[in-house]
Amino acid sequence: MTSIEAAVCTAFGAPLRIEELRLRDPLPGEIAVRTEAVAVCHSDISFAEGAWGGDLPMVLGHEAAGIVTGLGAGVTGIEVGNRVCVTLIRACGTCPSCAGGRPTLCTTPRESASPLSRADGTPVVQAMHCAGFASRMVVHQSQVVPLPHDPPAEAVALLACGVITGVGAVVHAGKLRAGEDVVVIGTGGVGLNAIQGARIAGARRIVAVDTSPAKLEIAKGFGATEGVLASGDKPWREALKLMGRGADLVAVTVGAIPAYNDALRYLGPGGRMVMVGMPHSGAMAEYEPTSLSYLQQGMAGSKMGDVVIRRDIPWMADLYRQGRLKLDELISGRWRLDQINEAFADTKGGGAKRNVILFDS
């Protein structure tokens, strides 16, 4: 057992508490990681607010980078001292989904118990298989990707969720082809990466839609060719005028029902919508099926960008090293673990792209 420092969610809607916890050694197939950096994702905030339920106490945080400090039996392809990108994507590699190239939909149940506990033996939930808001982690080997040490840890951490989700939503789930027109609704961390994915894939026009004029200007720095205020009267009309036609692809990157209700209005015939942002459980959107059928439009969900992490994260890390994928520019603030509630509040304020918690080496 190792003593670690962690930010613990003890009650939904309450501030996280910094506690000293116990972390067991890695079991077969697992690795131990000393955390260097972990980003704050809106999913962490939603979980902490009780949007999707779950047991307490729990440690959140699923967008992390760190150094491998220990290996369980049977681990291959990873060595102590490697820097790794730690994701929430835990995959068996053999179920029908994994064998079909969709590890984000792995159907094999997780067998091992949480590696976390309090000193009195109380189990602590390892949220999203990671528990990255802690000085150390134990995760399954399928969740990590070894990367060179030259990209800074905070950039590597971003590749674990927000970047792969946004880029993958457009490239994989959206199947964007060069020359197509794209609308991205929401220009937060995931939305900016959807915009980057559209730019890298060769979109003709990329229209960003948001309620904030300042965020629309930021979006242009990531590749948006135009910006439309969502708070205007029928903003889809302005977007259609800018493109000269309906969009081939609309990516909804915010968990807001009004955004989902309006998304199809931006589409042209044969267009498709990719659903990325996750509203709270029970929230419902409305569509007219006749329009989708007549115009041959489609809708697809995208979980974590439909990525295969050992394929896609090294690809994106290489794009970063070439200067073609912006990661440093995504970071709005750097915080210590004991400032995590301030980092949460800043993220909820809507102005942050990505806040990162940094740990001493």
Question: What is the residue-wise DSSP string for 136-187?
Answer: EEEEEGGGEEEE-SSS-HHHHHHTTTHHHHHHHIIIIIS---TT-EEEEE--
Q: How far is 89 from 255, CA to CA, in rounded Å?
A: 21
Q: For position 281, what pLDDT does the model report?
A: 83
Same domain, 144 and 293: no
Q: Does residue 1 have a pLDDT over 70? A: yes
Instruction: Mark whether 52 and 116 lie in a shared domain.
Output: yes
Segment 285-320, tens digit of pLDDT: 998 888 899 999 999 999 999 999 999 999 999 999
Tens of pLDDT, residue by residue over 209-240, are 999 999 999 999 999 999 999 987 899 999 99
Domain holding 136, by residue range, is 2-159+327-358
pLDDT confidence band for 10 (50 / 70 / 90)? very high
Which of 302, 317, 338 delimits the end of a domain? 302
**Residue 311 tokens, joined:** 């394929």
The answer to whether residues 65 and 207 belong to one domain is no
Element (H, E) at 42: helix 42-48
Regarding whether 129 and 270 lie in a shared domain, the answer is no
Q: Name the nearest CA neighbour of 39 among 209, 190, 252, 197.
A: 190
What's the rounded Cα separation, in Å, for the pair 298 and 271? Answer: 7
Domains contained in the chain, number? 2
* Shared domain check, 234 and 177: yes
Residue 313 within a domain: no
Summarised one tens digit per residue, pLDDT across range 243-274 is 999 999 999 999 899 999 999 999 999 999 99
Confidence band, pLDDT 50/70/90 cuts, at residue 64 = very high
Residue 320 included in any domain: no
* pLDDT in the model for residue 231: 86
Residue 58 has a pLDDT of 97
pLDDT at 109 over 90: no
| Beta bridge partner(s), residue 2 | 23
Residue 182 scores a pLDDT above 80? yes
pLDDT of 350 above 80: no
Same domain, 174 and 140: no
Task: Label residue 361 by pLDDT band (50, 70, 90).
Answer: low
User: Looking at residues 151-158, what average pLDDT do you find?
Assistant: 94
pLDDT > 70: what percent of the chain? 99
Task: Output the pLDDT for position 84.
Answer: 97
Cα–Cα distance measured from residue 61 to residue 21, given in angstroms and rounded to the nearest whole number = 15
Q: Are residues 253 and 334 in the same domain?
A: no
Residue 147 sits in the same domain as residue 31: yes
- Over range 151-176, report the average pLDDT: 95
Nearest to 267 by CA among 253, 278, 251: 251
Q: Do 103 and 203 reside in the same domain of the chain? A: no
Whole-angstrom distance, CA of residue 242 vs CA of residue 235:
11
| More reliable by pLDDT, 52 or 208 | 208
42-53 pLDDT, tens digit per residue, is: 889 999 999 888
- Band (pLDDT 50/70/90 cuts) for residue 120 is very high
**311: in domain:** no
pLDDT in tens, 16-44: 999 999 999 999 999 999 999 999 998 89
Is 259 inside any structural domain? yes
Instruction: With respect to residue 310, please indicate whether it lies within any of the assigned structural domains.
Output: no
In a domain, 265, yes or no: yes
In a domain, 251, yes or no: yes
Percent of the chain with pLDDT strictly greater than 90: 87
Question: Is 240 domain-assigned?
Answer: yes
* Whether residues 10 and 141 fall in one domain: yes
Q: To 10 degrees, what angle do helices 189-201 and 213-221 make?
A: 40
Do 134 and 208 belong together in one domain?
Answer: no
Q: What is the reported pLDDT for 237?
A: 95
**CATH code, domain with 287:** 3.40.50.720
CB 118 within 8 A of CB 108: no
- For 289, other C-beta atoms within 10 Å of its C-beta total 7
Q: Do residues 173 and 48 share a domain?
A: no
Q: What is the CATH number of the domain that holds 26?
A: 3.90.180.10
Q: Are 99 and 161 in contact (CB under 8 A)?
A: no
